[in-house]
């Protein structure tokens, strides 16, 4: 396969509700032992990069904080580049301000230049979404840290931000700029981090569109796992075909012929 680096989605691939899936820690270890570079690409917006790293290590998954690329980190870079000095209204479930370097959060009485939607949760009330809608009508730009429609938890599939973004776009007559996966910049950041070409990297995820087909469009090899949010009907309806489909991340070393 000519693989020099492996990029992992986290939620649904390595963990569910931050508990390691069977074989996840061992798979990451085997890849490292084989000399492959590893990075973790996640649209998770409920925790900072440091908190994500700590959660993975607590489950026995070897991950350095500097190997983790998150949607908030990519989003902050996007805002610094496209909206320098902008006042930002953030609606997100979880405190991610530590990763929003160089971003100015607007005060409660300030009119924001940009509205950012992160991961959905209890904070996404009717009142909060109406406030976002009114900011958009007043001319604020709309940025989504991702456009996932749902994710997997111990309790089952849970509605996510993509559903709200679609409604806000239609109601306010705006278009969202999405910076998390499947944005090409996300995968470019990972390639730059480990110093390999796209043809030398593999992306493994449970979202056929945002993880796998988006990576393949960038020239990476895509691997879809049948864990997390995976659904057979979603795969059948997808606009493309993954390079590989495996039952779980535990099968990845065998796919790469690294299994003992």
Look at residue 257 in the predicted model and tell me its pLDDT: 86
In terms of Cβ atoms closer than 10 Å to its own Cβ (0-12, 13-18, 19+), residue 107 is exposed
Look at residue 1 in the predicted model and tell me its pLDDT: 59
Look at residue 2 in the predicted model and tell me its pLDDT: 81
- Residue 260 covered by a domain: no
- Residue 14 covered by a domain: yes
Both 153 and 230 in one domain: the answer is no
Each of the 260 residues of the chain gets a pLDDT tens digit; together they read 589 999 999 999 999 999 999 999 999 999 999 999 999 999 999 899 999 999 999 999 999 999 999 999 999 999 999 999 999 999 999 999 899 999 999 988 899 999 999 999 999 999 999 999 999 999 999 999 999 898 888 888 899 999 999 999 999 999 999 999 999 989 999 999 999 999 999 999 999 999 999 999 999 999 999 999 999 999 999 999 999 999 999 999 999 987 55
Look at residue 58 in the predicted model and tell me its pLDDT: 98
Is 56:8 a contact under the CB 8 Å cutoff?
A: no
Number of domains in the chain: 2
In terms of Cβ atoms closer than 10 Å to its own Cβ (0-12, 13-18, 19+), residue 120 is buried
Is 14:28 a contact under the CB 8 Å cutoff?
A: yes
Q: Which domain holds residue 170?
A: 76-178
Q: Which of 144, 178, 212 is the last residue of a domain?
A: 178
Q: Is 161 helix (H, G, I), strand (E, B) or coil?
A: helix
pTM of the model: 0.86
The domain that holds 162 is classified in CATH as 3.40.50.1000
Both 122 and 191 in one domain: the answer is no
What tokens appear for 93 in the block? Answer: 């479930």
Query: pLDDT digit string (tens) for 231-246?
Result: 999 999 999 999 999 9
CA–CA dist 145, 71 (Å, integer)? 5
Q: Are strands 87-91 and 19-20 parallel, antiparallel or unpaired?
A: unpaired
Both 109 and 158 in one domain: the answer is yes
């Amino acid at each position: 396969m000519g693989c020099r680096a492996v990029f992992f989605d986290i939620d649904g691939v390595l963990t569910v509700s931050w508990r390691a899936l069977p074989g996840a820690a061992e798979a990451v270890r085997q890849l490292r032992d084989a000399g492959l570079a590893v990075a973790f690409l996640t649209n998770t917006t409920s925790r900072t990069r440091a908190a994500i790293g700590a959660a993975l290590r607590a489950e026995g998954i070897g991950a350095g904080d500097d190997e983790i690329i998150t949607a908030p980190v990519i989003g902050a870079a996007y805002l610094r580049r496209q909206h320098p000095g902008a006042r930002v209204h953030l609606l997100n479930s979880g405190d991610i301000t530590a990763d929003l370097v160089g971003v100015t959060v607007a005060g409660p009485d300030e009119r924001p230049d940009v509205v950012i939607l992160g991961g959905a949760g209890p904070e996404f009330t009717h009142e909060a979404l109406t406030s976002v809608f009114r900011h958009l009508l007043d001319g604020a730009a709309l940025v989504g840290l991702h456009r996932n429609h749902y994710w997997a938890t111990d309790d089952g599939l849970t509605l996510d931000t993509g559903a709200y973004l679609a409604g806000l776009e239609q109601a306010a007559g705006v278009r969202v700029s999405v910076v998390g996966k499947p944005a090409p910049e996300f995968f470019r950041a990972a390639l730059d981090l480990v110093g390999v070409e796209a043809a030398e990297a593999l992306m493994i995820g449970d979202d056929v569109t945002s993880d796998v087909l988006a990576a393949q469009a960038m020239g990476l090899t895509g691997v879809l796992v049948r864990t997390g949010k995976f659904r057979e009907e979603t795969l059948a309806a997808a606009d493309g075909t993954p390079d590989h489909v495996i039952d779980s991340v535990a099968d990845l070393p065998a796919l790469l012929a690294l299994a003992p």
